[in-house]
Every structure is written in structure tokens, then in C-alpha cells.
Chain A
Amino acid sequence: MVFRRFGERIVCYARRKSPWVLHLDTGGCNGCAIETFAVLTPRYDIERFGGLSKANPRHSDVLIISGAVTKKIESRLGRIYDQTPEPKVVLAVGSCAISKGVFHDSYNISGPLDRIMPVDVYVPGCPPKPEAILQGLIKALDVWREKYRI
């Protein structure tokens, strides 16, 4: 157990109960993007797990990243990863983010995602169903607990 001050531990506990999510499409077909969006809506409802969609990387804890990474967005992606404050987990959603998918031999793709940033949870599928993305998010929270020993 890492020694932490009492207040800090409370903040960490609270964070685990309300993960704020940032979604970024890095050059996919939009399919994973709309399925991730569907996770926010009443049928699946990410707020059951305390999640909230935030568009600002400085406010978010979980990065949901979909799409094969194109050359133009690669540098931006690095910046967004750096801007996210430290207890963070990264979800690679969809075949494109995991292995470049159908675009594997394209001239403008520099992915897969784990070559650019460390990825904690992989959610496979083209696109994965919202249930799968939700489960990925829950897994991510477990990873988080292990990683930061909250």
C-alpha cells in the first residue's frame, strides 16, 4: 500500500466513483463514435456508474479512443494524452484502434493506438456494442484501482 495522505485518498476514492470520460475519434468511420455516444444515452446510461462525458482532457479521467490513428491527428493525440491529469486509463475501442482494422495497409495511417500511448483496456469489435464499451469502462475502473492502489 502506497502511503497517501488521508485527504488525497478520499479524492482518489471519489474519482473512482465518478469517472469523467473523454471520447476522441482519431480517424475511424464514426461507427465506434456513435456507439460510444449511445453509451451516454438512457438505454445504456453511463451515469449508473457515475460516468459523465466531458470534452475537456484536463477534466477527464478515462480516455475512450476509437479509430485507426491518422498521420495528421497523431501529434494532437499525444498532446491530449499529456493534458489528461495523472490517474488516467486509456480504452482502445474498436478493431481500428487495436490493430488498424480494414485500413491496415493505408498510406495515411500511423496507428495502432498502443504504438502511440499506453493502452489499459482493449474493447474489440467493428464496432463493439454499447454493452461491450460499458463493460470495458468497468474493467478500466478495476485497472485503475490496481494501478494506483486506491
Chain B
Amino acid sequence: MKEEKKMEKVKEERVTYSLPIGPQHPMYVEAENLNVYLDGETIVDVDINVGYLHRGIEELMQRRNYLQNIYLSERICGICSGIHSMTYCQCIENLLDVNIPERAKYIRTMVLELERLHSHFLFLGVVGYEIGMDTAFMYAWKDREFSMDMLEQVSGNRVNYAMPTVGGVRRDVPNHIIPSMLKKLNHLEKRTEYYRKVFLRDRTIIARTRGLGILPKKDVERFSIVGPVARASGLKIDVRRDTPYLKYDDLDWKVIVEKAEDSQSRVMVKVLEIFQSIKILRQCLKKLPSLDREIKTKVPLVIPKAEAIAITEAPRGELVYYAMSNGTDRPERMRIRTPSFVNIIYSLPIILKEQQLADLPAIVASIDPCFSCTDRMTLIDTKSGEKKTVDETYLKKLGERRLK
């Protein structure tokens, strides 16, 4: 507390100007508000004001049945839509304690890796755009269309694939699309090799990313930052390796770790992860024709009282779903912990400290912010004006009250 007050004083003395960025700003497509405190052009502190995109999905989930919730969870985020619905299905399968067919597991793994591909290409484009290098943006998004084509081939949709269902997947992957997918993967691999060179050697990119936005390893551990952002600071964590789900323990791939802790290493982690995704996809495509055709097991949709959890690795880090059932066809409580939430809220103030204002967009882009899954609710007592963020113990109490 003392330290906090001291910091406040230091902040007040130094700050000469405070600059609001957003909610509508060229820096990012989504509506969010950053309040940047400046000393001249140096950033002293940042306040993050989220909540513009809060849609109350956790509460909506309690009002819908288990099947309807698949499509609601898909619409938490348009970029990670596949992983959200798949983790949801996995969580409900854990509630029911059922196993899904082998072919369904391979198809799910495939869709997840395709999604990682398109998300990482999107990220490369956005970094290029924020640096001011529009060519990189156009190139990366042009190549991203190939991964979107593959998703469309597999699922019929570009963004919300609606592939998984509780107990398997909804559509099979026919054998005749495999050669054309392999061809596209070859093309993407060639292009990624090019991006690796560009993001490692290009002078413009080095000037705007190398040595900027340092996120020390000890802060990563302190704030439990997850995913590629943590891996770029030298922490070897990946849910796919630590607690394998689907087929990841049978496939041959490795966790990418960079040690430089700066913006460039965060970009490089993602570039190198694209190679790993392509490797995983090739193995899946090779394995698919030899598998049994069954893609779905039948499951009951009224679930007795139980609790379950599912953890997966989204393109941006660890994603956790918690479900509590109460004997009806609707969940009693769903809780979702998304990777962007920790990555944005905790790492932004650290990596932006003492940086130049002009570097802000590039540094913010380097942690790959995605706000649509981040927005949380703060309860404000309208009579006393008291603010209260909903925490674990409060939710436990609420849950206990409802179970009685």
C-alpha cells in the first residue's frame, strides 16, 4: 500500500500530459480505451479501460442448453472461434466422461492448427500495419487467405466454423481435398520462410521492434502471463505439451521459445510457430485416410450434477473453461478464462513503461491484443458509487447459495 502511494506521487510529479487513445482509434479495430500518462514523449503509465465489448456471455450460457451454447461460445471471439467451441465441447465431454472417436480427434486438431495459422498470419499483418509497413500487412493478409481457403474447404465457413459438437465433430473431411490442402501448405511454408527473413533482418522492423517493449521473465512468472508472450520471454510453457489434449502427444512438434524478451522475439515466436503448425497439419492429413469413418458418439444432453474443467492452448495462450451442471439441460455456471485477459491487463503497463509514444502501436500489437474475449464486468453499487470486481470467493458464495 505504501509503495503504491509512493508510486502515485512519483507519477503525479512526472506526468505532464495524459493522452486518451480510443475507443475508436486507427490503432486497432476493436473499441477499447487506453489512457496514457506522458512525460514529454515518454510513457510513464497506462490505464486500461475495457468493457466496450462486454456482452455478458457467461450469463447467457446459463440460460441456454448445452447444444445452443456451442454456437454461443464460438461467438466469443471471431479469430479464435474454433478453439472456444472446441474447449467448450471438451469441457462438456469431461462432465459426461465420454471419449470421442479417433477421427474426430484428428479433425479437431486439424481445425485448431488451421486456426493458429490464420491467427498468426493475421498477427504478422497487424504488426506490419502498426509499424507503418503497409506492404508487410498486405503480403501477410494475402497469404492468410490461403489458410482461410483451407478452413473453408474443411468446414464450409471462413470464420465461425461450427465444426465440433458434444461428442465429436459435425462434418467429415473428405479424402479428395487432401492433395489441394497439401499444395497450399507448401505455398504457405515457402512464404513463411520469407517472413522469417523479413522480420529478422529488415531494417525498418528491427528499428521498431528490437529491444523495445521488454517483458522480463520474472514478471511473466509473477503475473502468470501465458502463451506466445510468455514463450517469447524464455518461459517454456505450452498446454499442448504440458497437459496434452486431442492428438498432440502423438504428433511430432516442438515448443518454440525465444530468449530476447522484446517485441521482435514475440513476433519471431509466432513466425516459427507457423512452421510447427504446418508440420502438425501435414501429419494429420497423412493419417486421416487410414482412420475409421466414425466421427461422432451419441451423448445425453441432460447432465447430472457435476463439475468439470478443460484447458487448451489457444493461438494466444492458455484457455480454461469451467462448467458446473445441475441435472437439467442447462449449465448451472460456466466460467471462461481467456489468454488475452491476462496478457493485456498485466503485461501492457510493464512493457509500455519508459517507451516512446511513437512506439506504442507497435508494442501493443506485439502482444497480439484481442479485446472481444477480454471484457469483464465490474459491479458498481449505484447508491454508494462503490466499485467491486467480481472475484472467485464472491462467485463461490453465489454458487453455494444457488446450490442450496
A residues contacting B by CB (< 8 A) are: 23-38, 41-43, 55-57, 67-68, 70, 72-73, 76, 80, 101-103, 105-109, 126-127, 129
A29–B370 CA distance with the chains assembled, in angstroms: 10
Question: How many residues does chain B have at the interface if contact means C-beta atoms less than 8 Å apart?
Answer: 40
**Minimum distance in angstroms from A127 CB to a CB of chain B:** 5
9 nearest CB pairs, A to B? A31-B78, A55-B26, A41-B141, A30-B78, A31-B159, A30-B372, A29-B75, A29-B78, A42-B142
CB-CB contacts below 8 Å: B41-67 with A = 51-57, 59-60, 63
Q: Give B162's nearest chain A residue, CB to CB.
A: A126
Question: How many Å from the CB of B237 to the closest CB on chain A?
Answer: 25
Residues in chain A near residue B137, CB distance under 8 A:
41
Alpha-carbon distance between A55 and B60 when the two chains are bound, in angstroms: 32
| Identity of the chain A residue whose Cβ is nearest the Cβ of B25 in the assembled complex | A55
The contact sample of 12 A-B pairs, CB cut-off 8 A, is A23-B29, A25-B29, A25-B31, A27-B55, A33-B30, A34-B79, A37-B141, A41-B141, A55-B25, A106-B60, A107-B56, A127-B160
Say whether A70 contacts B75, CB under 8 Å. Answer: no
Out of B29, B52, B63, which one reaches A73, CB within 8 Å? Answer: B52
How many interface contacts (CB-CB < 8 Å) are there between A and B?
Answer: 122
Residues on A with C-beta less than 8 A from B319 are none
Query: Quick one: which of A31, A42, A109, A127 has the most chain B CB within 10 A?
Result: A31
Q: Which residues of A contact B160 (CB under 8 A)?
A: 31, 126-127
Cα(A67)–Cα(B160), bound, Å = 15
| Interface assignment of B71: CB less than 8 Å from any CB of chain A | yes
- Least distance between B136 CB and chain A CB atoms (Å): 12
- Is B177's CB within 8 Å of the partner chain A? no
Cβ B56 vs Cβ A35 within 8 A: no
Asked if B24 is at the interface of the complex by the 8 Å CB criterion, the answer is: yes
**Contact partners of B53 in chain A: CB under 8 A:** 25, 27-28, 67, 70, 73
B138 within 8 Å of A by Cβ?
A: yes
CB–CB A76/B31 < 8 A: yes
Cα distance A31–B79 when bound, in Å? 6
Instruction: Verify A106–B56 contact, CB threshold 8 A.
Output: yes
Contact residues of B between 142 and 173, Cβ < 8 Å to A: 142, 144-145, 148, 158-160
- Chain B min CB distance to A109 (Å): 6
Q: Does the CB pair A33–B78 fall under 8 Å?
A: yes
* A43 surroundings in chain B (CB, below 8 A): 141-142, 145
